[in-house]
Chains A and B, each alone.
Chain A
Amino acid sequence: ETGVTQTPRHLVMGMTNKKSLKCEQHLGHNAMYWYKQSAKKPLELMFVYSLEERVENNSVPSRFSPECPNSSHLFLHLHTLQPEDSALYLCASSQDLLRLRGTDTQYFGPGTRLTVL
């Protein structure tokens, strides 16, 4: 499809659990992103990575911990989440950070639907 895959597609976890979301892009891109999509804020940027270096942490609580081991993979580690963290978590990639024009736009994965009980 878009060249960006996310696993799992659905996740249910308790507030004391620790889980991780995985994103992989097969596009040779250098920048990767995590977004949160919920009823309150449809598309909210969380983290931005460029060449495995984090360049943005958009005031995200520390219970969300991103990891980018290489330019093709991005993880979001979750621990002691709250019910209000239930949302769709979307990963995206782009060729780099500097353009985002035309075909240099962001390509999104299908998302992970997270439910926190």
Chain B
Amino acid sequence: AQSVTQLDSQVPVFEEAPVELRCNYSSSVSVYLFWYVQYPNQGLQLLLKYLSGSTLVKGINGFEAEFNKSQTSFHLRKPSVHISDTAEYFCAVGEYGNKLVFGAGTILRVKS
């Protein structure tokens, strides 16, 4: 069975500072990995995805993530955050055609 662990429930950071949101997964088969963002009272929006190939994946809004198979991790990073990045971020693992399994989410709070 697949599972996802997001290691931090909340991450406070000052504006223009770098940030890393951590995600570890477990799966017995090859997986696809995703990061979604959820703004208050909105649905989830895809930030980026790893399917295969380069382990460094670039997404929207300046975010990137690195797939590390040996450590079963898919951490999300941004070199300089903005107030508008304040939201909840979800890591998810999925198999082709099957459901996504989400982590519990990490709330990113950007302070001025």
Partners in one complex: no
Chain B residues within CB distance 8 Å of chain A = none
Chain A residues within CB distance 8 Å of chain B = none
